[in-house]
Chains A and B, each alone.
Chain A
Amino acid sequence: MQAEEKFTPQTWPESPEKATLEGKNKFLGFWLFLGGETVLFASLFATYIALKDKVPSPDHMLAKDLFELPLVFVMTMLLLTSSLTSVYSMYHMKNYNFKKMQLWMLITVILGLGFLACEFYEFHHYYTEYNHTFTSSAFGSAFYTLTGFHGAHVIFGLVWMILLMVRNAGRGLSLYNAPKFYLASLYWHFIDVVWVFIFTVVYLMGMVG
């Protein structure tokens, strides 16, 4: 099966992301990368757990003074919903419906931007209201490194999806770009996987002390 071959919904293969050799290789390589990312985030989580609430003097804010559950809840819902919308996007990809795939990916991007806006607000709030900065304490460094790394992944994922949508807008769906969309969606799910642990370990466990 060739990458440039033209398809109809009837002839479109069942697993388009793995129908070409390039697709198969990308699929394998990307999962290996995600395994590595798991280890990367584990080291950041371990550092955060070790340095949580380690501040040089009592006038520094601790986790339970900083975090606000309503904002974290909104961020969680935005990211979780964006994960479902990217599942919808891949559903339409498998049905060879390019327009609907693009539409659902656009919704995913919008929800991701909403999450990012909340995170910018959150960091700004800590910085201006509580003087909780990257260099203010070991706690601050560990907190911003972990959540910042996740935020950087969100930015990267958004740029990736926007570029894919724009670049392929006039091309339609093919076996050349189907693996690209599929991997971007996998990456986006992985960002949500990391966030599930961030909201649990950092925010919720930060509130219980």
Chain B
Amino acid sequence: MVNNQSNSNNPRLNYDYRRKKNAEGMRIQVATFTLMIFFTVVSFVAVAADFSKWFVVPFILLLAVVQVGFQLYYFMHMSEKGHEAPSLFMWSGVTIAFVTVLAFMTIIWW
């Protein structure tokens, strides 16, 4: 059962490989984090710079969606295998979430 994800029978080799793979994964996480910080700063600057509301609102919403995608798929590992059920649960949740927000925004117009 131990190390069943690997093809080699040499445990030492598997260990080195996994350590390397984890370190590589961590570098990707840090790169993701840098991008998230960058998007956050851009959002705040866009608002502080006082651009037109019709540009800023869709722009910062787009950046928020991208950032949440990073958070879910990298920080929460949804991009890795074995996450089919989590994807189903989250996307179902997102669908209901979208409909809920849409309903409240369109039904209430005063």
- Give the B-binding residues of A (Cβ under 8 A): 1, 9-11, 13-15, 18, 27-28, 31-32, 34-39, 41-43, 45-47, 49-50, 69, 73, 76-77, 80, 83-84, 87-88, 91, 94-95, 186, 189-190, 192-193, 196-197, 199-201, 204-205, 207-209
**A11-B2, A50-B104 known; A38+B97 contact, CB < 8 A:** yes
Q: Which B residues between 58 and 110 are near A, CB-CB below 8 angstroms?
A: 60-61, 63-64, 67-68, 71-72, 75-76, 82, 85-86, 89-90, 92-94, 96-98, 100-101, 103-105, 108
Contact of B76 among A38, A50, A189 (CB under 8 A): A189
Q: Check if B29 sits within 8 Å of A84, measured CB to CB.
A: yes
Chain A residues positioned under 8 Å from B26 (CB to CB): 87-88, 91
A193 and B100: CB pair below 8 A?
Answer: no
Contact with A along B39-67 (1 / 0, CB 8 A): 01001100110000100110011011001
6 contacts between A and B (CB under 8 A): A14-B3, A15-B5, A35-B89, A186-B76, A197-B64, A204-B60
Q: Given the complex, which residues of B lie within 8 Å of A31, measured CB to CB?
A: 85-86, 89-90
In whole angstroms, what is the CA distance A91 to B25 when docked?
A: 9
Q: Which A residues are in CB contact (< 8 Å) with B104?
A: 46-47, 49-50
Contact of A84 among B33, B85, B101 (CB under 8 A): B33
Q: Chain B, interface size: which category? A: 35 or more
> Roughly how many angstroms separate A94 CA and B40 CA in the complex, as a whole number?
29
The CA of A164 and the CA of B61, in the complex, are separated in Å by 35
A204→B72 CA distance, assembly (Å): 22
Decide: A50 and B105 in contact? CB cutoff 8 A.
yes
Known A42-B97, A45-B101: A83·B44 in contact at CB below 8 Å: no
CB A167 to nearest CB in B, in angstroms, measures 24
Q: Please state if B108 and A39 are interface contacts (CB–CB under 8 Å).
A: no
CA distance A201 to B92 in the complex (A): 21
Chain B residue with Cβ nearest A19: B1
B90 to chain A, nearest CB (A): 5
Contact status A200-B64, CB under 8 Å: yes
Give A30 to B59 CA distance when docked, in angstroms: 32
User: Contact at B71–A189, with CB atoms within 8 Å?
Assistant: yes
* B-side contacts of A38, CB under 8 Å: 90, 93-94, 96-97
Chain A residues closer than 8 Å to B29, beta-carbon distance: 84, 87, 91
